[in-house]
Amino acid sequence: MSPGYVRERMSGKRRMELYERVRQILETTRSAVARSVNTAQVAANWLVGREIVEDEQRGRKKAVYGQKLIAELSEKLQKDFGSGYSATNLKLFRQFFLEYPDLLRGRIGHTLRDQSLPECETSVSAIIAFPTGIGHTSCDQSWKPGLLHPNLSWSLYRHLVGVESTLARSFYEIEAIRNNWSARELERQINSLLYERLAMSKDKKGLMRLATRGQVIQCPTDVFKDPVVMEFLGLPQSPKLVESDLEEALISNLQAFLLELGKGFAFVSRQERITLEGDHFYIDLVFYHTILKCFVLIDLKVGKLTHQDLGQLQLYVNYFNRERRTQGDNPTLGLILCTDKNDAVVRYTLGEEQQKRIFASRYKLHLPTEAELQAELRRELRLLKGELSGQT
């Protein structure tokens, strides 16, 4: 190999390294600029909403005055700034201010109309240009739900404003930041009532933790939801549905399924075969949970759960614990997804210890309403009371 060839290769490598360093600078700067633009839009919309509210409060007849005010303001703004200032959007800005009264707390003092023009420009600049932290994607200690965050764009706030519960809204803010959700992903999580599903089994302290810390995974019960919502499959709720079709649809929509399962799930395999003295068994889906450090085996059932189904999953879990678990892995978890279940059958089949490792969740092929979820909760409570009364 000639010295010239070696020098040429080294030179090419240095050029590639230079390109990578420059590319990283530009990509990071582009992200920071995008966050600044998003922050500017959010702050401006909030300020517009505040101006409308404060002007309305001085009107004698709020409803009549407010409608006229928004219509006239929208007409003028659209001539100067385009269709983004329709009456519908101005009402949304107004609602944004009312739902997030402390959004810019500590960044402005009194109303902008009470300041001279240079002071007004300085105040707005200070709001928009506060440090965003390049590459920052998680909730830092100084930020709290309800305050402006550089990673919450206006497209995200549009969906957050529609969440009526303050606790639920705080939860979605934290999770949107932590998981870097797009507006579409956030909308899906809100529409599938993620907060309500996670909150169903929580006490008051658990609800407050959800609202102040988001979903914290410390044990298996923090991972699994009931029900699991899979409307993204586009499958009809039909008695003719077979498990192979359900599995195929889940694999075809794996990204959406992982989003529904929640943080920490990594796909490993489908139809994993295990052989015991010549008998073959197939596990529908195998995942690994990167937070809990364990395998998660998912079995799919298109009908009502039976004790035989639970026994089969116990077999799979026991096999993985003995044959596939390696040093550093925690005990394997199992989840059966079924259309219906008898919770008493689950409790008596599994027993107290196995219930910590094997779970059963209903799946929904459509978005449940809040009323449906409340009915599920009341059903669970009735069953629990019945079990407790039978023990006394």
Per residue in 351-371, pLDDT tens? 777 888 989 988 888 887 777
* Cα–Cα distance for residue pair 358/221, rounded to 1 Å: 10
Domains of the chain: total: 1
Is residue 273 a part of any domain in this protein?
yes
Name the 3-class secondary structure at 154.
helix
pLDDT at position 282: 94
∠ at Cα 318 (315, 320), nearest 5°?
A: 110
pLDDT, greater one: 63 or 166: 166
- What's the average model confidence in pLDDT over 76-99? 88
**What's the pLDDT band for 25 if we cut at 50, 70, 90?**
low
- What's the average model confidence in pLDDT over 99-125? 58
Where would I find the beta strands (DSSP E) of the chain?
A: 228-229, 265-276, 279-289, 294-300, 333-338, 358-364
pLDDT at position 135: 38
Is residue 153 a part of any domain in this protein?
no
Structural contact between residues 238 and 172, judged by C-beta atoms closer than 8 angstroms: no
Is residue 143 a part of any domain in this protein?
no
Is residue 195 a part of any domain in this protein?
no
- pLDDT tens for 200-243 read 767 777 778 888 888 888 888 888 888 898 988 888 777 778 88
Alpha-helical segments (H) within 193-239: 194-199, 204-213
Is residue 199 a part of any domain in this protein?
no
**What's the pLDDT band for 388 if we cut at 50, 70, 90?**
very low
- pLDDT tens for 36-71 read 778 888 888 898 888 888 877 775 545 555 677 888
pLDDT, greater one: 216 or 128: 216
Contact partners, residue 318, CB within 8 Å, separation at least 6: none
Is residue 33 a part of any domain in this protein?
no
pLDDT at position 13: 66
pLDDT at position 112: 45
Residue of 242, 187, 232 lying closest to 366 (CA atoms): 232
Q: Which two tokens stand for residue 170?
A: 């705080």
**What's the pLDDT band for 136 if we cut at 50, 70, 90?**
very low
Report the 10 Å Cβ neighbour count for 164. 8
Is residue 284 a part of any domain in this protein?
yes
Q: Which two tokens stand for residue 251?
A: 């694999």
Average pLDDT, the chain: 80
Q: Which CATH number fits the domain that encloses residue 294?
A: 3.40.1350.10
pLDDT at position 235: 83
pLDDT, greater one: 129 or 277: 277
Q: What is the DSSP letter of 322?
A: I
Of 13-17, 95-99, 343-347, where does the model show the most confidence?
A: 95-99
Is residue 7 a part of any domain in this protein?
no
Contact partners, residue 169, CB within 8 Å, separation at least 6: 99, 145, 160, 163
257: containing domain: 222-391
pLDDT at position 124: 52
